[in-house]
Amino acid sequence: MQINSTTKAAVSDDEAILAVFEGLALQAGRVIMEIFRSKVSVEHKADFSPVTEADRASERLILEGLREVFPGVPCVAEEETAAGIAAPELGQEFFLVDPLDGTKEFVGGKSDFTVNIALIRDGVPEVGVVYAPCSGRFFSARPGHAEAIALDHELNILGRHRISVREGQVPLTIVASRSHRTPETDAYIRQIEAAEIVSVGSSLKFCLVAEGSADVYPRFGRTMEWDTAAGDAVLRAAGGSTTTTDGKPLVYGKRNQADEDDFANPSFVATGRVSGAPRF
């Protein structure tokens, strides 16, 4: 879908929202890949995390599209936040954007970085897309319906098929962060006997659980809401869940937190239909 000045959509129309998200993610992926194939210049933000022109260019494109099509709906995006641009007042609905999740993988020449766009309603990630431009893996979700999308070499959509989480397999397959493993994550994994471990970067971890390729994604350590919202939307739409250490669903739009920044997540575990995974 090409975004233009005449395009408008209601924020209550999930299919229209997804059409916009999908079009913007594909456009952003083209921009990212142009930079990926050239020499990548890396800077560092105040928290010492890397940032590139691909992050910024992708975010500009996505935010311009969202603000044009959905005027008045607040947008919270990683690079604007890092640049000190104050997040808008949030209503019941707002967008979360991670224009390039997995910048470390991107800089290192690895392929599993993603574009992530999500709509939050009442603290719940309900609509989202996750697009991995290197591999062409593309996931799209609205409440109760998650899909994997097949693309051709020109990035035209060839087809879609519905995905869902699986019943827990023996051994359980655990997906874990490639760049952000912590001792707490390793301790959790050790509680699961004979588990198969798959390391992968970015929000694709949620999607592997959502499509039934894995069973559990534990994340102990800091993430931000834009890191997780789109993948979490795909997982929940596919029948999975994401819970915090108190057993409650991970919520979005967290501000004025004691001892933590706005939009920072606590530790969580994302699962399919698993009965044998340990608690915390």
Provide the CB-side half-sphere exposure for 133 (13 A, CA). Answer: 29
The C-alpha atoms of residue 279 and residue 269 are separated, in whole angstroms, by: 9
Measured from the Cβ of residue 275, the count of other Cβ atoms closer than 10 Å reads: 7
The pair of structure tokens assigned to 114 is 């993603």
The annotated binding site for Mg(2+) is made up of: 78, 98, 100-101, 227
Query: Cα–Cα distance between 57 and 280 in angstroms, integer?
Result: 39
Instruction: Work out whether strand 268-271 and strand 216-219 pair parallel, antiparallel, or are unpaired.
Output: antiparallel
- Asked if 235 contacts 219 with a C-beta cutoff of 8 angstroms, the reply is no
Could you tell me how many residues make up the chain? 280
- Tokens (6 digits) for 247: 């057993």
Can you say which residues are annotated as belonging to the binding site for substrate? 78, 100-103, 227
Name the binding residues.
Answer: 78, 98, 100-103, 227
Reported as type and span, the H/E element at residue 157 is strand 157-163
Q: What is the DSSP string of 35-96?
A: HHTSPPPEEE-TTS-EEEHHHHHHHHHHHHHHHHHSTT--EEEHHHHHTTPPPPPP-SEEEE
